[in-house]
Chains A and B, each alone.
Chain A
């Protein structure tokens, strides 16, 4: 009995232990629940949001670029792109991979888009993409191929297609330089746009050059942002917030596409003509007219807006759409190919040559070197014997010749400009240097006053500021590169060279055109505009209108400006009946409708070393009209092409002829041209059918 009681007690004890153990197990559970749910609730709520909330960025279309009459110069279009999945490809054997790439290249080529295996391989191996990326390999494939690839996807492991929006150029290569192009963000650019208002993603496109670059902020669309709740498999369960994508603004330019097309055509034709000049043998060496490159700009001098901007050679912006290869890009930036990517109008710097003389004349008139206290009166004649000797020569070259070495005879300031007498200006320059009370840097001051030596401020990126040499800058240049100069001293000869836009003077075609604009519009120096306004793509309303920007008002009283203007008017019109002496562009403008559309101009022929080390003549011409209140100023420069009056002036003459007669040809977009060709072909068949019909009737008639 006792034992049973003991056992009974023991059993109660053991049950008690069991119960205690059971209860004690609740403690860690409750404690842990407390820890997770009460103490760390916030942290876990955040982690749930990390899990379930996702932001989807929806790309917004980029704004279009329009010309002044609203014609679309840059548009967007859909492109079907073949992609390969790197992750999936990595699991394939390399021999299988080779076969796949071969078959893929073959299939794409068969569909009409010539594709090399190497091209696919290069894209596949490109470092640009991460190991899980779907790499775009070939763009712009046909819809049929897309369907085929999707249908037989089992044959094409890892190969897919996607549709992307790319830039479209309805006018082909036209205006390529000024429009620029877009490309994927580079490492540097990623840093720059980090805080941009419109979010950029790693593979987004950004303007790289031209208008695309300068108006990037306006053109870029505002990406849409969608906050969604997703499940583990990334299925969207809910949309929490949705900010729709907003298309970028359209940018309208001051460019007129007809004027632009004409500028490009005439520039190219002018270069072709220049190339046909016979090779010249001179004492200094052989001159071959290679005429590899050139530039032309047309502006409205009254408001500083750019109407046309042509640079030759040019490139096809389409190259950048489907992804340009390294070798293709290298070709575009190769000096041997004359740097097709360079926009010579704003980036090419040339010695302005004689086109610089009006500004030296301004310096002489302004400082009084020509005038009562100076060496000459405005109308005083000076004998140009074709050669000028520096009166107090201290070394270096002491004798300076006219271009060609021929004398111009008795010239006043007007005729000196009309005939482009170097000796007259050498005389002025020498006296700036040696005459007490005058500053040898006066021509430079005047040039800078007219905008030379610093960027004009045009609304395009990467503009070159050119160079106006001074004694200080010479010393600095000598210090940096002693072998290029004989001495670090500024000699009188340097002042002489500077006065006629030679020596170290460099200017862009834009700077020349812009300086002349100020000269002929009464003295307003503009920062040239190429953008007219931005337009809301949906409403079509103006968002921002870009007003003319004035850099400064110049001091141009009539006594100073009228002799210069008169002299320049003679360049295209003056011919002495007695000895046949004529303005440097007289023959180029012979029979031009001067009465209806008065034109002035200035020729220039500058010397610059060519790539091969030969001295080559750079032909320049600046012309404007209709006087007295010109609406057009055009500057042309042809590299290694001969005399300005002979090869550059005719281009402007032909150009202005079209403008003066109001017969600027309407330039068609590629699509319009195709339609027209089709239409004409149709008409032709119709006509021949008609003729046949007539022939038939007549044969019937004759038969009867």
Chain B
């Protein structure tokens, strides 16, 4: 450990030194893609919230969104600067700490929004512990799975599932189905790469399906939550708010056509016909105002992010790095697919933010910190693993 410390110090004191110096291997493509997505989000957020009268525009949310972007970027750089193998020492504290927050959010300390009790409120700012917990969980699971060196026996799987069950259970108690699904995706992805056996994967899939059936048939979900999950199948026949939301989102996106209505010109957006268009349904603004070309560009940016994370996973110096990247990868991919798919009407409404793009401090910061971890792995891919 002391060797590593010395090495890091020497590197930062002498930048022109070793060719394996992490600062020579910053993944600029990844950083720029994430920032591009973040800026897109800010612009679209502006369009979604500016309303009818520009002089009356309340800039506070806009500046807050920009602030999150800046803070996220800074935290990303900070996260990437401390070697991830050192950060591993903090994992127990961070993981159990975030689990404690998840527990506390269920108490009256937390606040409820849209039927989900998932937030702490500090004045103007809200904190969503389930978001931060994603990173903590990825790191924790990676640390645990690393020690099996790529072959997971049954015991390891069971332990890993127990580890996953802690945040998953607490989040389900918040009735935040969307976030819970993200954890499921992360766990599955990481177990796959960490070396789970085919039969285990098969068994877990079956168990997962059964779990969904159990959750669905027990009274855990309110009727409106069920509506939100099923309305995408046939929105026209449904009179629910959820169906309305999805129908309006598709109208917005569809009317964008190839080139879009132009920035700030979307009538559907200006008229605020899509509920939550500035948060979870922000992609509808993208679709309406910048059209098919713009939407594909956003997807391409996500493509670059995913490619760079996947590449880092492949090139990582050790299994810990690979697993961290895999966790982040599955998180981003799942959230992107779910969030965009929801606005396009091919996925149910779950209230998952679009990483980097959607408004929301916890989500922005989490995404950037997660990418910071990936950068961390990328920068240190040539360092010798002891």
Contacts and interface: CB of A to CB of B under 8 A. Distances in A.
Contact of A18 (B189, B251, B256): B189
B70 to A, nearest CB: 28
Given A41-B254, A45-B255, A33 B329 contact: no
B256, B267, B313, B314 — most chain A CB neighbours (10 Å): B267
A30 B340 CA distance: 10
B258 A14 contact: no
Contact of A33 (B255, B267, B295, B336): B295
Given A30-B296, A232-B272, A36 B330 contact: no
A150 interface: no
Given A7-B151, A36-B254, A231-B270, A22 B291 contact: no
Contacts of B189: 18
A37 B314 contact: no
B113 to A, nearest CB: 20
Interface string A36-68: 111011011101110110000000000000000
Given A18-B329, A25-B337, A36-B344, 4 more contacts: A11-B322, A18-B330, A36-B250, A237-B271
Contacts of B273: 51-52, 231-232
Contact of B310 (A19, A36, A237): A19
Contacts of A37: 253-254, 256-258, 287, 291-292, 295
A51 B344 contact: no
Given A29-B340, A232-B273, A10 B195 contact: yes
B258 to A, nearest CB: 6
B296 A231 contact: no
Contacts of A45: 254-255, 257
A29 B299 contact: yes
Nearest 7 interchain pairs by C-beta: A44-B254, A231-B271, A7-B150, A41-B257, A36-B254, A44-B255, A37-B292
Given A29-B337, A44-B255, A47-B251, A11 B292 contact: no
A22 B310 contact: yes
B151 A43 contact: no
A47 B274 CA distance: 13
Nearest to A46: B255
Contacts of B336: 25
A7 B326 contact: no
A447 interface: no
Nearest to B310: A19
Contacts of B52: 231, 235, 237
Contacts of B345: 32
B252 A15 contact: no
Interface in A129-161: none
Nearest to B333: A22
Interface string B236-278: 0000000000001011111111100000000110111100000
A661 interface: no
A7 B195 contact: yes
Interface in A217-258: 229-233, 235, 237
A52 B306 contact: no
Given A26-B299, A231-B273, A15 B310 contact: yes
B193 interface: yes
A61 B94 CA distance: 74
Contact of B329 (A22, A29, A229, A230): A22
A466 to B, nearest CB: 62
Given A22-B310, A48-B252, A38 B292 contact: yes
Contacts of B149: 7
Interface residues of A, number: 40
Contacts of A36: 250, 253-254, 287, 344
Contacts of B206: none
Contacts of A559: none
Contacts of B292: 33-34, 37-38
B311 to A, nearest CB: 9
B271 A232 contact: yes
Interface in B272-331: 272-273, 287, 291-292, 295-296, 299, 303, 306, 310, 313-314, 319, 322, 326, 329-330
A49 B271 CA distance: 11
7 contacts: A29-B299, A30-B296, A32-B345, A33-B344, A37-B291, A37-B295, A52-B267
A15 B314 contact: yes
B235 interface: no
Contacts of B255: 41, 44-45, 47-48
A44 B310 contact: no
Contact of B251 (A10, A15, A33, A44): A44
Chain B contact residues: helix, strand, loop or mixed: helix
Contacts of B341: 28-29, 32
A48 B251 contact: yes
Interface of B: 52, 149-151, 189, 192-193, 195, 248, 250-258, 267-268, 270-273, 287, 291-292, 295-296, 299, 303, 306, 310, 313-314, 319, 322, 326, 329-330, 333, 336-337, 340-341, 344-346
A191 B333 CA distance: 59
B267 A229 contact: yes
Contacts of A12: 314
A7 B340 CA distance: 35
A699 B207 CA distance: 121
A319 interface: no
B313 A15 contact: yes
A554 interface: no
A34 B257 CA distance: 9
A26 B302 CA distance: 10
Contacts of B257: 37-38, 41, 45
Nearest to A37: B292
B351 to A, nearest CB: 19
Interface in A464-515: none
B298 to A, nearest CB: 10
Interface in A410-451: none
A233 B255 CA distance: 20
Nearest to B51: A231
A28 B347 CA distance: 11
B192 A29 contact: no
Given A15-B310, A18-B192, A30-B299, A229 B326 contact: no
B271 A229 contact: yes
B310 A18 contact: yes
A245 B150 CA distance: 80
A118 interface: no
A693 interface: no
A17 interface: yes
Nearest to B254: A44
Nearest to B340: A29
A160 B288 CA distance: 40
A51 B299 CA distance: 28
Contacts of B192: 14, 17-18
A137 B194 CA distance: 76
A11 B195 contact: yes
B193 A29 contact: no
A26 to B, nearest CB: 6
A40 B296 CA distance: 17
Contacts of A18: 189, 192-193, 310, 326, 329-330
Contacts of A29: 299, 337, 340-341, 344, 346
B281 to A, nearest CB: 13
A44 B340 CA distance: 18
Contacts of B346: 28-29, 32
Q: Name the residue in A14, A17, A22, A40 with the highest tally of chain B Cβ atoms < 10 Å from its Cβ.
A: A22
A11 B320 CA distance: 13
Q: Which of B272, B273, B313 has the most CB of A within 10 A?
A: B273
A269 B345 CA distance: 82
Contacts of B295: 33, 37
Contact of A51 (B254, B268, B313, B319): B268
Contacts of A32: 341, 344-346
A332 to B, nearest CB: 47
Contacts of B150: 7-8, 10-11
